Structures are given as structure tokens and as C-alpha cells.
Amino acid sequence: MSKDIYVFIEQRDGKIQNVSYELLGEASSLAEDLRQRVVGVLLGSGIEDKAKKLIMYGADEVIFVDNPILQEYMTEPYAKALTQIIRENDPEILLIGATSIGRDLGPRISARIKTGLTADCTSLYIDPETKGLHMTRPAFGGNLMAVIQCKNHRPQMATVRPGVMQILEKDESRKGIIRKVKVDFSDIGNDVEILEVIKKKKKTTDITKAKYIISGGRGVGTRENFEMLKELASTLGGEVAGSRAAVEADWVAEDRQVGQTGKTVKPDLYIACGISGAIQHVAGMENSGLIIAINKNDTAPIFDISDLGVVGDFKTILPQLILAIKKAKDEGVDYVAPSSDKYMGMENILFNKKNGVAYLTINRPRFLNALNRKTILEIGAVVDILEKDESVQVLIVRGAGGRAFVAGADISKMLDMNVEEGKEISNLAQSVFSRLKNLPQVVIGAINGYALGGGNELAMACDIRIASSRAKFGQPEVKLGLIPGFGGTQRLQRIVGQGYSKELIFTGDMISAQEAFRIGLVNHVVAPEALNRVVNDLAQKIMNNGMKAVKLAKKSINEGGSIDLDSGLAIENRDWTNCFTNEESKEGMSAFVEKRKPNFKDF
């Protein structure tokens, strides 16, 4: 029987390539779904000591072949070693990075083993029914996404695009097996011989690793104008890039080309100047975090995919923007250094606020953000602050790391609790979650991964829940001989009804984000990389409205949730009346009558 997820570990000069860590992370998640193990296959020369690190990043076993012939990549020795390992171990799945090495080795192996290979995947998924691997890849110049299956052949092989999958948090305590395998290379002839290894000059920065990218297209016009983009990039600490037109005009180097024929990037910020947004350019940058486009032509397709589009001339905007950014940085205005994210000595959560939005991030990624007493107390402390902080209108609750929102309560800490302590922790969590629910602010849960047990209960204490397609939900307490204790038996039935609530709690089953959406547990399911953006957009959308009204509406809905209709209507009547006591409603209604946009900012 085929089993386990194998990952080809790519090393160059003994250095493990990032894509391999990414694949270990993805393999861990697939392995969980299949209840199988992750095996890294490391080929190289003098690389034995690297194996341990692979385990820290998710491998349960590392098989390595150490031989001088594997020093530099050559197709045949690598193919021979990997084929031998596949034949001896019969893996269920084999993942290879879609690099110029992986895309050379992969097809050679697939033809040798006679199995299917799907190239350049951007997403992998285990079909819950067949347990087969669904591989999604772009085709037709990135215009079309195809989902591909390899039903009857094993291993199911995929090369995976670098930079797409998430690396796990390093866990030095992880244990695994390290196994050396001997391969006989004596029959490798001299048909292919490396005469020389020429390293490319390191001067060229890899734009795929840049956090901020300032990119220019045909509309930049001249090489001199491109200098402006360079200055903005250096002011922000980012890199410049260009569309094919800019590269062809020789304004920017070829290795900085973004798009179907260039690099695929997903920086936190992508500023496009004078780029019309031809589809093949968009294919290379559309997954960027924040996309800002400046273009003279208001019909430029780039605006269709940008978060903020400015119709105008970048030549006049950029110099001022550069000054503004320099000023903001010098004065430290609104600038939060990463280290200052920790708030008031809190250890397990990050808290910060910006322009009316606050972020509460459960930050114990190594423990999948499991809730312990201290974490709950710290959430309580944030609630204390927010109850009094009128500058914050929306709170976003999320989990750190790529895998979990909150995977549950910290069971290892509960093992030794007595009855009193058990009661106390439930009381504490229930009261903190209730107060969170009743905050004047709108609370949005951004659920990026596991929301199990206490995690699901925390999510349910949010007003609105948005899930990444990777998220999974469940109340598995009965599997431990417990019942949900942080509000699960009560809040779940109020959201999804008693019937489904009982099924979930009685079986302890985990459900997918899609299923959670179907039953109404979450409002939307979005691509993992889009989660932050969608949640931020939602917050902005809400904040464009009269916030006094929004808060009153929240109050009215919350109070009415647990009482009969007539009493509820009385509450609504009370809060509606309340609206007329403030200026905000006057502004809103007069703006409507005067056919203009209301200005709620001053209220």
C-alpha cells in the first residue's frame, strides 16, 4: 500500500532552499488529512547535518543520500537516487519544488515510474471522499485554473510553485527519524559532464522576496522617470520591478519583470505606475497584499484588480509621496515598529490599532495558538481597554502563523485541574468571551486555520466570522470526555440551530470552511491570501457608515438575541429613538436628501 507524503528537499551548495520548507509545511497539512507521515528526501554531498532542521519544520522522517556525485544538480544521479527511494518506499504523494531543478527532475521521474505529474501547482487539497490529491494549477497563460487528479497511479506527483505554500513555525522539540540510504552510482557514465559552474552575480535582488514592490510599465515613458520609482522603492525599503514593456524598453532589468513571462510576486505592497494591467502582467502580481495603481487612463484594467486606484500622473504624485513617506518615517508618526506590537507586557497576544481598526492576534503559533489561562486573561485585558477606547470602531481577531486561528484550549494544562479549577477556567473564559461579544465595537473574526473547541467558541463570540478556505471548525470536547465549556453548547445552537449543533458536538467531527459556510457558521470563505484584505475591506466598509448607528444596531441585535420578539422590538424601538438624539443621523439623512456623500467622520 502506498503511504506517506514525500517531499524532495532541494539544496544548493548545501543550503536547503526555501521552497522545501514550504513543501514540508504543506505536506504536514496533507498528512494530517490522510493521517500519514511527512518524509523528506534529501540528496546532496556532506548534507547529513541538515536533516535535523527538516524535522523542526515538519518532517517526520528524513531519508538522505550523501554522495559527492550529488554535489551539483545533475539529472541522472538525482533521478536514480530518487527513483530508488520511491521504489523502495512506495509513497502516496511526492511533492517537488517547481524550480529549474524540480521541473527537470519531476518529469524524468514520472516517465521512469510511469505515473502522473502535475506541474507548477498553486494549491493542493485532499478530497475528503476519495482521499485523492486535488492539484490546482494555472494554465492558458494564467487565465485558467485547472484542478487535476491522478487517480490510479502512485505516487501522485506535483511540482509546486515556490512562494505559495506556508512554512511552519520552527519547532526545535519535534522528533523524527533520520535514515541514510545508499545508492550505487557506479553505472552513471560520462554522457553528461559539468564543465563549469558559473554563479550568477548576487547583485540582482530577487524581487519575489521583496516586501514592497514599486513597478512601472509603458506609461512610465522614459528611463529618467523610472528613477522616481527607484527612489520611492528605496524610501520604502522595497524593490523596483516592471512590466514586459518596461523591460523591453530597457528601463529595468529583465530579472525584475513581473508577469506570466517574468516572476510571480506577492509582496505586502505593490504600487503599479503607468501599468495598464494586461492580463499577463496581472497574473504575476494579483496576489499581492495591498495593490495601489496610478494610471492616467481611467479605463486601465489594472484598476479592476487594485485595492486603491488613482487616476492621475505618477510623475506629479510620486515626488510628493516620497516626501510624505520620508516625513512619516522621520517623525515616527503612525509608525509601529514590529517589536512594539507587544502591548503592555502581554506575552501571548499582539495588539495594535490603526485608524479606528484594532487587531487582536493570538500569538502562540508553535502551540497552534491554543488558549491557556494567561492568554484568556490577556484577551480580557484587551477587552478592558476597548470598552473605554472610543477611537476604535472595529476589532479584528485573528491567529498568528499560517495554520491555526485557535486550535483549542491548552489540554496539557487542564490535565491536572481539580473541580474548582475547572469551574474557574470556564467561568473566566465565558465572561471574557461574553464581554468581547458585547464590546461596543464591531468584532470580526478572521479565521485562517483551525478553530477547534475554545477556538470555535472564541470565533463565535465575534460578531462576524470570515474564514480562509484552509480553516477547519469543530467542537471535539467529547472525544476527551468533556463538553464545550467556553460557550459552545449555547452559542453554536444560536448560530446553526440545535440539530447541526448537536451533531457537531456529539461527533466531535471537524468540518471544512466550505461546510461551515453552508451551515451559516461563517459569513464568507475566501482564499487564504485574501483573508486579511477581505476582512480589512469589510471593516472599512462598515466604518464608512454612521458608527453610532452601527453600535446601536449591534446592541439591539445582541440584546434581542436571547429574548422574545415583542421584548426585542421594544429594544429596537428604544435604540431607534436613540438615533435621533445625535447629529450623526441628521448628517446621514440630510446628505441623502441633498444627494451627496455623508460625512460621518466628525461624529
Interacting positions 72-91 with another protein (CB under 8 A)? 72-73, 75-76
SS3 (DSSP) at 589 = helix
**How many Cα atoms within 13 Å fall on the side-chain side of residue 479?**
12
The CA-CA-CA angle for residues 394, 396, 400, to 5°, reads 160
- For residues 175 and 201, which CB has a smaller minimum distance to another protein in the complex? 201
* Binding residues among 240-269 for another protein as defined by CB under 8 A: 254, 260, 268-269
For position 357 contacting another protein by CB under 8 A, the verdict is yes
For position 131 contacting another protein by CB under 8 A, the verdict is no
For position 194 contacting another protein by CB under 8 A, the verdict is yes
Residue 178 phi/psi, 5-degree rounding, is: -120, 125
- For residues 289 and 568, which CB has a smaller minimum distance to another protein in the complex? 289
Q: Which stretch binds another protein (CB under 8 A): 98-106, 369-377, 476-484, 573-581?
A: 98-106
Q: Which stretch binds another protein (CB under 8 A): 52-60, 287-295, 430-438, 481-489?
A: 287-295
Q: What crossing angle do the helices spanning 419-437 and 373-388 adopt, rounded to 10°?
A: 30
Q: Which of 477, 529, 587, 594 is catalytic?
A: 477
Least distance from C-beta 306 to another protein, angstroms?
A: 5
For position 223 contacting another protein by CB under 8 A, the verdict is no
Q: Which stretch binds another protein (CB under 8 A): 36-44, 84-92, 324-332, 416-424?
A: 324-332
Q: Which three cell numbers stand for residue 187?
A: 553505472
Q: Are 23 and 166 in contact (CB under 8 A)?
A: no
* Binding residues among 4-63 for another protein as defined by CB under 8 A: 12
For position 200 contacting another protein by CB under 8 A, the verdict is yes
The CA-CA-CA angle for residues 218, 221, 225, to 5°, reads 120
For position 372 contacting another protein by CB under 8 A, the verdict is no
Residues 6+ apart with CB under 8 A from 225: 216, 315
- Between the alpha carbon of residue 580 and those of residues 59, 435, 552, 570, the distances in Å are 62, 27, 12, 16
Out of 35, 88, 187, 320, the residue judged to bind another protein by CB under 8 A: 320
Least distance from C-beta 153 to another protein, angstroms?
A: 4
For position 236 contacting another protein by CB under 8 A, the verdict is yes
Q: Is 457 a catalytic residue?
A: yes
* Binding residues among 162-191 for another protein as defined by CB under 8 A: 190-191
Out of 28, 110, 348, 556, the residue judged to bind another protein by CB under 8 A: 110
Q: Is 169 a catalytic residue?
A: no
Q: What crossing angle do the helices spanning 498-507 and 488-496 adopt, rounded to 10°?
A: 130
* Binding residues among 543-582 for another protein as defined by CB under 8 A: none
Q: Are 155 and 93 in contact (CB under 8 A)?
A: yes
For the four alpha carbons of 463, 469, 471 and 474, in that order, the dihedral sign comes to: positive
Q: Which stretch binds another protein (CB under 8 A): 63-71, 97-105, 419-427, 429-437?
A: 97-105
- Between the alpha carbon of residue 287 and those of residues 153, 266, 296, the distances in Å are 33, 5, 23
Q: Are 163 and 208 in contact (CB under 8 A)?
A: yes
For position 205 contacting another protein by CB under 8 A, the verdict is no
- For residues 311 and 483, which CB has a smaller minimum distance to another protein in the complex? 311
* Binding residues among 461-500 for another protein as defined by CB under 8 A: none
Of 99, 85, 108, 77, which is closest to residue 39 (Cα–Cα)? Answer: 85
For position 140 contacting another protein by CB under 8 A, the verdict is yes
Which amino acid is residue 331, in one-letter code?
A: E
Which amino acid is residue 359, in one-letter code?
A: Y
How many chain residues bind another protein (CB under 8 A)?
101
Least distance from C-beta 572 to another protein, angstroms?
A: 31
- For residues 140 and 580, which CB has a smaller minimum distance to another protein in the complex? 140
- For residues 361 and 456, which CB has a smaller minimum distance to another protein in the complex? 361
Q: Which of 92, 239, 457, 515 is catalytic?
A: 457
Which amino acid is residue 118, in one-letter code?
A: T
For position 278 contacting another protein by CB under 8 A, the verdict is yes
Out of 35, 175, 198, 596, the residue judged to bind another protein by CB under 8 A: 198
Out of 46, 87, 111, 514, the residue judged to bind another protein by CB under 8 A: 111
SS3 (DSSP) at 603 = coil
Q: What crossing angle do the helices spanning 314-331 and 223-236 adopt, rounded to 10°?
A: 20
Torsion of Cα atoms, 464 then 465 then 466 then 471, to 10°: 180
Of 368, 350, 541, which is closest to residue 471 (Cα–Cα)? Answer: 368
Q: Which three cell numbers stand for residue 237?
A: 525599503
For position 503 contacting another protein by CB under 8 A, the verdict is no
For position 298 contacting another protein by CB under 8 A, the verdict is yes
For position 222 contacting another protein by CB under 8 A, the verdict is no
Q: Are 407 and 371 in contact (CB under 8 A)?
A: no
* Binding residues among 141-160 for another protein as defined by CB under 8 A: 141-153
The catalytic residue positions are 457, 477
